[in-house]
Amino acid sequence: MTAMMTALIAVVAAFFAGMLIAPAYIRFARRTRSSQTILSYVDQHADKKDTPTMGGIVFILAAIGVTLAFGGYKSRLCLVILLIFFAYGVIGFLDDFIKVKLKRNKGLKAYQKVIAQLAVAITAAYFCSKSPYIGTKIALPIVGGEADLGVWYIPFAAFVFLAMSNAVNLTDGLDGLAGSSTVAYMVTFTIIIALLLSSALADGQTLYAEELNKLAVFACSLIGALLAFLWYNSYRASMFMGDTGSLSLGGAVAAIALFVRNPLISAFVGIMYVVSCVSVILQVAVYKTKGKRVFLMSPFHHHLELKGFNETKIVAFYGIITAIAGVVSLIIM
């Protein structure tokens, strides 16, 4: 109870930290003209062209600062997840910085971004495989038990990082969309961590319990920081998270799932990330092979916009579906 109370206090602390950082960052971004370049073919977003970008800096600083302040530096798992979170944020920042500096919608070249993401992914996957608290086993939802992936664990975990980071990046297309979906996702995994923590304490695994406690602190810090960000990012947004934020969130959601050995359930909890990613793959594949479009525009949230759904309504859909998927996932587990 004490451990989870600390994590809940971290939510509040990170929220207020984010609320202090956000206005200062917005003023700085406006002064330096760090605004978002809008895709020319997304007509419905034309009036957002001067909105400050790279707002992911707000929740990155708030989440990392509060996690460390609440003792995250004492946990190896927590330190590593902070490094992954930060590293993906740096990749996104470089991408955003080039876009802002050159006033274009393309930042890093595709191969540069993939190589950078892959380097972090493989390093993180190797750490997971060697950690006594993670290892090469993953939980099997529904059927129960575990599967030992052995030598296949590192490529599997690296794929999870690549897939999730890019899926979250694709989901970040409407005000509050990626942020609200990630809050629901992180709440689910905080509950999963709490259940594992209770089990570890019951079994006398005090060292593992402490690692889980700090992971919960990170997850809750990110929830609080994202809530502060959403205060300014919900429609109409005063700032966008940019790739700085979306890639860092992708790294965090992948890492939290792998660290608690439940990467398969993450695909269900993060169902709307999967929808965004699959919709783009389907659109490109069908258009390349048959010259036809499956959706009016991809990712799927743009298709819904063109079908006449209001932006706030789409964000609500995504958040609600993610929350329901989280509840179902807990039942399955």
121-130 tens-digit pLDDT: 999 999 999 9
Q: b vs e for 176-215, b when ≥16 Cβ sit within 10 Å of the residue's Cβ?
A: bbbbbbbbbbbbbbbbbbbebbeebbeeebeebbbbbbbb
Give the pLDDT mean for 260-279: 95
Q: b vs e for 89-116, b when ≥16 Cβ sit within 10 Å of the residue's Cβ?
A: bebbbbbbbebbeeeeeebbeeeebeeb
Q: What percent of the chain has pLDDT over 90?
A: 83
Peptide bond connecting 155 to the previous residue in cis, omega within 30 degrees of 0: no
* pLDDT one-digit tens code per residue, 13-68: 999 999 999 999 999 999 988 876 665 555 566 566 778 999 999 999 999 999 99
277: burial class by Cβ within 10 Å (0-12, 13-18, 19+)? buried
* pLDDT one-digit tens code per residue, 62-103: 999 999 999 999 999 999 999 999 999 999 999 999 988 877
Q: Are 233 and 55 in contact (CB under 8 A)?
A: yes
Please report the pLDDT score of residue 45 as a whole number. Answer: 60
Please report the pLDDT score of residue 27 as a whole number. Answer: 95
Please report the pLDDT score of residue 102 as a whole number. Answer: 79
Name the pTM for this structure: 0.94
* pLDDT one-digit tens code per residue, 212-246: 999 999 999 999 999 999 999 998 899 999 999 99
Phi, psi of 290 (to 5 degrees): -120, -5
Read off the tokens for 327. 């509840």
SS (H, E, C) the chain: CHHHHHHHHHHHHHHHHHHHHHHHHHHHHHHCCCECCCCCCCHHHHHHCCCECCCHHHHHHHHHHHHHHCCHHHCHHHHHHHHHHHHHHHHHHHHHHHHHHHCCCCCCCHHHHHHHHHHHHHHHHHHHHHCCCCCCEEECCCCCCEEECHHHHHHHHHHHHHHHHHHHHHHCCCCCHHHHHHHHHHHHHHHHHHHHHHHHHHCCCHHHHHHHHHHHHHHHHHHHHHHHHHHHHCCCCCCCCHHHHHHHHHHHHHHHHHHCCCHHHHHHHCHHHHHHHHHHHHHHHHHHHHCCCCCCCCCHHHHHHHCCCCHHHHHHHHHHHHHHHHHHHHHHC
CA atoms within 13 Å, Cβ hemisphere of 316:
6
- Confidence band (pLDDT; 50, 70, 90) for 106? confident
Please report the pLDDT score of residue 34 as a whole number. Answer: 82
Closest CA to 273 of 128, 161, 151: 161
